[in-house]
């Protein structure tokens, strides 16, 4: 009974968590806690066989299957908070509560009589006792179960099977396709340029430089560009130099030359309503929107990638960023789609 009073609140809290947590993966983990606690309650109630089955089948097989499918569908998939039917959530909660009260009242009024206990039935071990009942009185149901399992396995295979409609391209096909793209559309024939090789920490987020000093657009992974975490090569150079001189020294955009003393935001001449970043990278006053020149995205405060983004230009509002030709970050991909 001690195990019950410890585990019951945990289970109820975790089950309620499944209702409110937004990410499906967290739901699966909370469900795992509930199922393992249930297994312990089975063990407490003289059902060691079902304790093992609960752990192996439910937490081992079924929950892993859930997690597999979640990984396939996209771990980021989370519920939208928009109600399609107005007031549905409140009504569902009220109905659930009413149902719970009804069920509890009904169940609590039933007298189960004297608790018999399973000592007699479990004589000689729980597993042999279950086997004796299962293979005598319930043998037909057991056989039908095997038919059910085979049908389920077949059904899953049929549903998950995908006909290949076109032949699988081999390497020669890929090469021919590449040549065709080059001839028809002028697509670059060789491999994409690698990211910058002079980066200090993670080279992948720094684009390569073309001979004229501009950045090569294909050299950073598309996913990074979409998130807006790409660093520009000049910004990185300043980084290295300021690191060598000492973090406090203000450094201008031209390398080692000290910048003119910064008094307030420096008006950028590029777009109206935009300012250059301050030497220490912090937010210029009144310009909270971050812009990323490489990816062409802007990030508003509170956005998903806002904190990671290194601003090359700061805008005073989302409107002026849009006027400058920047796109709102995250507007390209929906909530349930995966990148790539």
Partner 1 sequence: MDTTPFIVLSAILFSIGAVGVLVRRNAIVIFMCVELMLNAGNLALITFARANGDLDGQIAAFFVMVVAAAEVVVGLAIIMTIFRTRRSASVDDASLLKY
Q: Is 254 helix (H, G, I), strand (E, B) or coil?
A: coil
Half-sphere exposure of 239 (CA within 13 A, CB side): 14
Among 10, 80, 175, 188, binds partner 1 (CB under 8 A): 80
Least distance (Å) from partner 1 to the CB of residue 328? 21
Give 92 or 240: the residue with its C-beta nearer to partner 1: 92
CA-CA-CA-CA dihedral for 267, 273, 279, 284, to nearest 10: 120
Of 65 and 183, which has the nearer Cβ to partner 1?
65
For partner 1, the binding residues in 310-329 under the rule CB under 8 A are: none
CB of 226 to partner 1, least distance (A): 17
In the complex, least distance from residue 11 CB atom to partner 1, rounded to whole angstroms: 7
Does 275 participate in binding partner 1 (rule CB under 8 A)? no
Q: Report the nearest approach of partner 1 to the CB of residue 86 (Å).
A: 14
**What distance, in Å, lies between the first and last C-alpha atoms of the chain?**
52
Q: Which is nearer to partner 1, 61 or 245 (CB)?
A: 61
Least Cβ distance, residue 133 to partner 1 (angstroms): 5
Which member of 71, 79, 267, 281 binds partner 1 (CB under 8 A)?
79
Is residue 33 at the binding interface for partner 1, with CB under 8 A as the rule?
A: no
- By DSSP bridging, strand 313-315 and strand 274-275 are antiparallel
Residue 262 as a binder of partner 1 (CB under 8 A): the answer is no
Long-range contacts of 280-283 (CB under 8 A, 24+ apart): 281/310, 281/311, 283/311, 283/314
Looking at beta carbons only, is 55 or 203 nearer to partner 1?
Answer: 55
Give the residue ranges of DSSP H helices in 110-192.
Answer: 126-134, 139-160, 171-185
CB of 2 to partner 1, least distance (A): 11
If the CB atoms of residues 95 and 189 are measured against partner 1, the closer one turns out to be: 95
- CB of 335: closest distance to partner 1 in angstroms? 9
Site for partner 1 contains 156 (CB under 8 A): yes
We find the least distance from the C-beta atom of residue 333 to partner 1, in angstroms, to be 11
Binding residues for partner 1 restricted to 35-64, rule: CB under 8 A: 35, 38, 41-42, 44-47, 49-50, 53-54, 57-58, 61-62
Candidates 147-155, 164-172, 250-258, 284-292; binding stretch for partner 1 (CB under 8 A):
147-155
Beta bridge partners of 38: none
Report the 10 Å Cβ neighbour count for 271.
16
Which residues from 113-132 bind partner 1, rule CB under 8 A?
113, 115-118, 120-122, 129-130
Chosen residue from 6, 71, 103, 240 binding partner 1 by CB under 8 A: 103
For partner 1, give the closer residue by CB, 128 or 264.
128
Pairing type for strands 297-299 and 327-328 reads parallel
User: What dihedral angle (degrees, nearest 10) is formed by the CA atoms of 31, 37, 38, 39?
Assistant: 110
Give me the least distance between CB of 178 and partner 1, in Å please: 28
Q: State how far the Cα of 55 lies from the Cα of 16, in Å rounded to an integer.
A: 21
Nearer to partner 1, 138 or 182 (CB): 138
Give me Rg for the CA atoms of the chain. Answer: 31
Is 11 a binding residue for partner 1 by CB under 8 A? The answer is yes
What distance in Å separates the CA atoms of residue 318 and residue 47, rounded to the nearest whole number? 62
Are 78 and 66 in contact, with CB atoms under 8 Å apart? no
CA–chain centroid gap for 138, Å, is 45
C-alpha dihedral, 20 to 21 to 27 to 32, nearest 10°: -80
Of residues 149 and 176, the one with the C-beta less far from partner 1: 149
Distance, CA of 273 to CA of 50 (rounded, Å): 67
């Amino acid at each position: 009974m001690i195990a019950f009073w410890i585990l019951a609140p945990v289970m109820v809290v975790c089950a309620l968590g499944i209702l409110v947590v937004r990410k499906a993966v967290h739901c699966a983990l909370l469900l795992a806690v509930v199922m393992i606690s249930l297994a312990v309650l089975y063990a407490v109630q003289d059902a060691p066989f079902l304790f093992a089955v609960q752990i192996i089948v439910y937490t081992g097989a079924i929950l892993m299957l859930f997690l597999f499918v979640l990984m396939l569908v996209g771990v980021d998939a989370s519920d939208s908070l928009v109600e399609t039917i107005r007031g549905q959530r409140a009504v569902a909660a009220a109905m659930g509560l009413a149902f719970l009260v009804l069920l509890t009242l009904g169940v609590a009024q039933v007298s189960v009589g004297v608790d018999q206990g399973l000592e007699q039935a479990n004589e000689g071990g729980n597993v042999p006792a279950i086997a004796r009942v299962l293979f005598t009185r319930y043998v037909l149901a057991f056989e039908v179960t095997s038919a059910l399992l085979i049908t389920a396995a077949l059904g899953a295979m049929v549903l998950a099977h995908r006909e290949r409609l076109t032949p699988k391209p081999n390497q020669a096909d890929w090469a021919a396709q590449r040549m065709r793209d080059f001839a028809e559309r002028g697509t670059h024939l060789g491999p994409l340029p690698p990211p910058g090789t002079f980066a200090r920490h993670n080279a992948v987020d720094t684009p390569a430089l073309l001979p004229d000093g501009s950045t090569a657009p294909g050299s950073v992974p598309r996913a990074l560009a979409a998130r807006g975490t790409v660093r520009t090569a000049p910004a990185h150079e300043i980084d290295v130099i300021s690191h060598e001189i000492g973090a406090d020294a203000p450094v201008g955009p031209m390398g080692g030359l000290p910048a003119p003393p910064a008094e307030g935001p420096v008006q950028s001449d590029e777009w109206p309503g935009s300012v250059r970043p301050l030497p220490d990278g912090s937010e210029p006053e009144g310009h909270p929107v971050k812009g990323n020149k490489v990816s062409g995205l802007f990030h508003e405060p509170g956005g998903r990638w806002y904190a990671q983004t290194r601003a090359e230009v700061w805008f005073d509002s989302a409107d002026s960023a849009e006027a400058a030709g920047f796109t709102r970050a995250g507007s390209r991909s929906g909530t349930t789609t995966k990148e790539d």
